[in-house]
Structure 1
Amino acid sequence: MLKQHLQQKLLQKLSPQQIQFIKLLQVPTVALDTRIKEELEENPALEDPSLMVQSEQKSEYDDLNDDKDSFDESSSEESTDEFNIEDYLQSDTPDDYSNGYNNDSEDEEQKEMPIAIESTFFESLQEQLDLVPLSDTDFIIGRQIIGSLDDDGYLRRPIVSMIDDLAFSQNVIVQEEDVLEVLKIVQDFHPPGIAARDLQECLTIQLKRKDQNNPIIQKAIIIVEKYLDEFTKKHYDKLERQLNLQDGELKEIVNEILRLNPKPGDSNQVTTKQLQIIPDFHITNSDNVLILTLNSKNAPELRVSQSYKDMFDHYEKASQKDKKLKEAVQFVKQKLDAAKWFIDAIKQRQQTLLKTMNAIMHYQYEYFLTGDEKKLKPMILKDIADKIEMDISTVSRVANSKYVQTEFGTFLLKSFFSEAIQTENGEEVSNKEVKKILEENINNEDKKRPLADERLTEILKEQGYNIARRTVAKYREQMNIPVARLRKEL
């Protein structure tokens, strides 16, 4: 049975301004300029004075041209109201348009920016395939193999699947033996190890291109073909027993294998540009006094368009308002409001960034003075949120995407937050301090006998850090440091 009843609820709902502020807050400095340009393009009521100066200079130049044109028209003896296309075409000379006129002297050398042309990994393989005398069918198989390679140069697609592709897409019927024969040809291409189906085959192909009379190469091939698992797990004692090797001989073999390229496809790839990091804050030390400044790109000089304001006032004062005029008033008002909201959101963003970073700087004052990670105090998001009286999510948005430049490097704000660990004296220290000590001990260890997690735990306890072995293992993994066995060297 259906019933109707009234119910009151108190709900929190974000306003459009709050949503806009949240989105802007998490945008890093490197992307803020793009976001502002997008807003300027979408909203004509928003202006950037720095861009307006350029447009005004251009406008003054256009006005001078207009004055020149009006003078030419008044001085002309034959002036008609009709447009003459021939006169227009005749006047279209380079002297009349600055863009088509070359201001450089004849003696001045014309310099152009050189453009680097580099063939891609797949184009290089295709060029090598073109040089091999093959039948039409084998050439098609070769193209199929090259097209099936991964970016790292491996052929992970099953042979059966390639046979099906050739049959359905190109109407070429082949057998598995035909594909394997062409695959051997492609595997002879450069770079060595290309078109291998797994790591073992990749390393074997590269070793077989070396001097086969060298006993080191011969034993390296045996290790890769029969004992690759033991090699990757660094069970060197087992390898020495199985192959009856001496320490010095095994070291030469291992070095020979380590010189091979496990990802041959990456060697000929065009390197991608690294992501540029633009710091949002700068901290400088002036006689042991820290000075915090905000990157100027975070404080653009935006303003509401005066012409749109005048337009809105004009429409509002109109005595008669028809439907179209009301729509125009509504449109202008909407754009003006959006421009004000965006400017307010940018200003609020600046204030929040400075407020949050200032709290972090004072919380970690000793660290920012010295740059010593051991000076980092335990700090969580709630500590800063309580200081600036804001929500934890706001601090998180600032910390996750903003960078600060100091005299000893540029760091992500998130890296300054850490958990607390209690020492034997009851003092709370940052886990960053423990990680630093772990890193120092591992860097100074004897690589022939690397320190196990149990020994690292004992060293920390000797220094007063009460910590469990599983916590040591967790910190070691967070620092991307392998276990002791994999750190062993000959």
Structure 2
Amino acid sequence: MLKLKQEQKLQQKLSPQQIQYIKLLQLPTLALEQRIKAELESNPLLEEGPEEEEETPLEEALDETPETAEAEATSETTETEAETVEEEASTEIEEEIDWEELFNNVDDLYGYKARVDRTDEDEERRELPLPARPSMIEHLREQLVLLDLNETERLIAEQIIGSIDEDGYLRRPLESIVDDLMFTHGVSVTEEDVERVLKQIQRLDPVGIAARDLRECLIVQLEAMPEDTPGREVALRMLREAFKDFAMKHFEALQRKLGVSEAELKEAYDLIQHLNPKPGEGGDVAPQQNYIVPDFTVTYQDGEFIITLNSRNAPQLRISRRYRQMLEQMAAEKKKGKRTNGLDEQTRAFLKNKLESARWFINSINQRRQTMLKVMKAIVELQEDFFKYGEGHLKPMILKDVADRIGMDISTVSRVVNGKYVQTDFGVYPLKYFFSEGLATESGEEVSNREVKALIQRMIEQEDKRNPLSDQKIAELLAKQGFKIARRTVTKYREQLGIPVARLRREIVLDDQQEKEAASEK
């Protein structure tokens, strides 16, 4: 049985302007450039260029207002994030467009643009187009002509190269490659045939490519070295006969198994350390061109901070004069009672819609600029010592500290911070770098956990490499310096720094006498 029920709901709604503003706010500089280009292509009333002087004011105005309120009322967000509406979004973005006021105040509309910090020096610093480089797969295929392969072996080589992972390893079983050759090319080969071709590919550039594990990768690189390379033979024996002890850094066990002196073991171990464990990465074949474009620049000059928002990739925006005049003319004709056909009405409606969209977009760009500068200014004020003196002067700070300071929501600050970078006098930093939890000292002072991490890193760098510091020992040393920190916290910070456990940080260190003996043997 169907029943009618009436209930009240309190729903939070975001207008289309607010949604547009939120999306623009979270874009970094390069992504914003692409977004503006896309908007310029889709909206003929939006164009880039400097402001032009207005010749004559508009005498007639439109007599109707676009029904934007209804569109806004139906725009609801289903995302949880939408529940936190941006209270700081300007009322100019949220309000409906009053066409009468819009066209009477011509100077406010035409030439209304998002201002940018563009200089001749900025133009000169634009990056040149990157040259096209071959991928690792293409690089290997080009080298196949150097191998003496018949037609079948060439097919095997192509299949192997196509199966190599991004880090340069071949993790597919040879049996699968044999099956693929049969199914795709109707060629019957054995695993021994594939193994023989694989050995040749592994000695192409970079040497060790297509290895099936780390041990094989290192062995291939050692075998490709001249036989008289110091430490080569001991290194090969170490990998072939005692790889587990090598990986675990059991140096005493390696000396016993290989029957070598500590100096010989160090020579072999250092040789292996200089090999490339991931031949598919970091080579000169197709280097990654990942450039960071700072969104802000902060400098300290003459006792004050200068904060600049990088807007050189955002062109100046304005409403198109030609289309605006077309809309003005149509509005004037309608005021005079002239009849317009259906096509003219459609054109007029289209232009009105695009004009509204262009104004919203320009407003959103301006609002984004203001919000980003507010957030960056607050960060500089809260981290003043860092921007003056650099590393070692970072204070504990969370998103709420910035949000409370500028009177905005935490979600807004989070959008500004995420993916953005700042150029300082001490280098380029992600904005997230300045946010960290505090750690209390014995004196009651709070310090950033980044400072504690820096202390841990310095301790490890200065430790005795024969007997590295355990996490418990590091916690004890920090306690002596006044930092209340548990061993498990030291472990967490060490892992975040990408530093292995003490056992894996062990190194073979020779004393002066051993160094002299090793040098005399050479």
TM-score by length of 1: 0.81
Shift of 1:226: 2.6
Q: What is the match of residue 437 of structure 1?
A: 455
Aligned runs of 1:313-462 on 2, under 5 Å?
313-317=328-332, 318=334, 319-373=338-392, 375-462=393-480
| Structure 1 residue corresponding to 2:266, chosen from 247, 251, 258 | 251
- The CA distance in 2 between the partners of 1:406 and 1:268, in whole Å, is 30
What SS does the corresponding residue of 2:267 show, helix, strand or coil?
A: helix
- The CA distance in 2 between the partners of 1:311 and 1:117, in whole Å, is 45
Shift of 1:41: 1.2
Quick check: 1:288–1:369 contact (8 Å CA) kept in 2?
no
Q: What is the match of residue 519 of structure 2?
A: none
Shift of 1:209: 3.1
What SS does the corresponding residue of 2:297 show, helix, strand or coil?
A: strand
Quick check: 1:192–1:264 contact (8 Å CA) kept in 2?
yes
- The CA distance in 2 between the partners of 1:443 and 1:355, in whole Å, is 39
Change (3 A) 1:51 1:267: farther
Q: What is the match of residue 279 of structure 2?
A: 264
Q: What is the match of residue 150 of structure 1?
A: 165
Change (3 A) 1:50 1:231: farther
Report the identity percentage: 51
Structure number with greater CO (CA < 8 Å, separation at least 6) is 2
Shift of 1:206: 2.3
Shift of 1:183: 2.7
| Superposed CA offset, 1:115-138 (max 9, x none) | 978665444544543344444333
Shift of 1:334: 0.6
- The CA distance in 2 between the partners of 1:466 and 1:166, in whole Å, is 63
Change (3 A) 1:403 1:131: closer
Quick check: 1:377–1:430 contact (8 Å CA) kept in 2?
yes
Change (3 A) 1:313 1:276: same
Q: What is the match of residue 19 of structure 1?
A: 19
- The CA distance in 2 between the partners of 1:365 and 1:300, in whole Å, is 32
1:29 is the counterpart of 2:13: no
Change (3 A) 1:216 1:131: closer
What SS does the corresponding residue of 1:297 show, helix, strand or coil?
A: coil
- The CA distance in 1 between the partners of 2:236 and 2:262, in whole Å, is 18
Shift of 1:472: 0.9
| Number of equivalenced pairs | 430
What SS does the corresponding residue of 2:27 show, helix, strand or coil?
A: coil
Unmatched tracts of structure 1, length 5 or more: 54-112
Shift of 1:267: 6.8
- Higher gyration radius (CA): 1
- The CA distance in 2 between the partners of 1:182 and 1:299, in whole Å, is 53
| Structure 2 residue corresponding to 1:239, chosen from 254, 262, 275 | 254
- The CA distance in 1 between the partners of 2:381 and 2:166, in whole Å, is 47
| Structure 2 residue corresponding to 1:192, chosen from 194, 202, 207 | 207
- The CA distance in 1 between the partners of 2:318 and 2:361, in whole Å, is 10
Q: What is the match of residue 278 of structure 1?
A: 293
- The CA distance in 2 between the partners of 1:52 and 1:263, in whole Å, is 57
- Larger mean CA deviation between 266-275 and 227-236 belongs to 266-275
Change (3 A) 1:131 1:33: closer
| Superposed CA offset, 1:416-475 (max 9, x none) | 011011112222221122112212222222222222111110111111111111111111
* Structure having the larger proportion of residues in helix: 1
Change (3 A) 1:412 1:185: closer
Q: What is the match of residue 218 of structure 1?
A: 233
1:173 is the counterpart of 2:191: no
Q: What is the match of residue 218 of structure 2?
A: 203
- The CA distance in 1 between the partners of 2:427 and 2:229, in whole Å, is 48
Q: What is the match of residue 505 of structure 2?
A: 487
| Structure 1 residue corresponding to 2:197, chosen from 174, 182, 190 | 182
Shift of 1:321: 3.2
- The CA distance in 2 between the partners of 1:387 and 1:190, in whole Å, is 56
Change (3 A) 1:337 1:453: same
- The CA distance in 2 between the partners of 1:428 and 1:123, in whole Å, is 54
- The CA distance in 2 between the partners of 1:285 and 1:221, in whole Å, is 55
Aligned partner of 1:232: which letter? A
Quick check: 2:48–2:318 contact (8 Å CA) kept in 1?
yes
- The CA distance in 2 between the partners of 1:419 and 1:370, in whole Å, is 20
| Superposed CA offset, 1:187-243 (max 9, x none) | 444443233222212222222334557783232112112322221222212212322
Unmatched tracts of structure 2, length 5 or more: 54-127, 509-522
